[in-house]
Amino acid sequence: MSRLLAAARASLDGALPATISTVDAAGVPNVSYISRVMYVDEEHVALSNQFFRKTRANLESNPHAMVMVVDPRDCRQFLLTLELEGSHTEGPVFDQLKAEVDSIATMTGMGDVFRLVSADVFRVRACVALPVEEEASADEP
């Protein structure tokens, strides 16, 4: 898994936005775009928590999430099965993620919109490269 997560780093660094899916206490799914998925180490990623309050509320009652990231080189997609471990509002992970989010905000002209509330650190339970048409098959989650 960690080797595949390393392979997915190009997608984490890509320009195409990732999406996060969560589930609330009543069982209603939610899906939102997120501006940044940051590689922390072989078993963790940090996600930018900006203004998607529903995602945040869902994670407080149900820490499970699935994130889809897109490789900008060929639009291939990876699915990360995640579990929230904690939220950081200061420290090196927060500082690095804030710098990256600020950079994206500047590039996209959305500096007034993007403001990092916290860096949410997730354990990566699984990382799967979704199969593309030319391949015989690959494992889905």
Partner 1 sequence: MTPVNVLEIDATLADFLGGPVAIVVATRDADKRPHVVRGYAASLSEGGTRVSVHVPSRQCRHVLDAIKETGVIAAVFSRVSDYKTYQIKGIDAEIGPTVRGSTPRLAAYRDGFLDELARIGIPRESTRGLAFEEFIPLSFTSTAVFAQTPGPNAGRKLETQA
Cβ atoms of 141 and 129 within 8 Å: the answer is no
Q: Residue 106 interacts with partner 1 (CB under 8 A)?
A: no
Q: Residue 70 interacts with partner 1 (CB under 8 A)?
A: yes
Q: Which of 30, 29, 33 is nearest to 16 (CA)?
A: 33
| Number of residues this chain uses to bind partner 1 (CB under 8 A) | 45
Q: Residue 29 interacts with partner 1 (CB under 8 A)?
A: yes
* 103/112 Cα distance (integer angstroms): 12
Cβ atoms of 77 and 69 within 8 Å: the answer is yes
Q: Residue 7 interacts with partner 1 (CB under 8 A)?
A: no
Q: Which residues are at the interface with partner 1 (CB under 8 A)?
A: 15-16, 19, 21-23, 27-33, 35, 50-54, 62, 64-66, 68, 70-77, 79, 81, 110, 113-114, 130-134, 137, 140-141
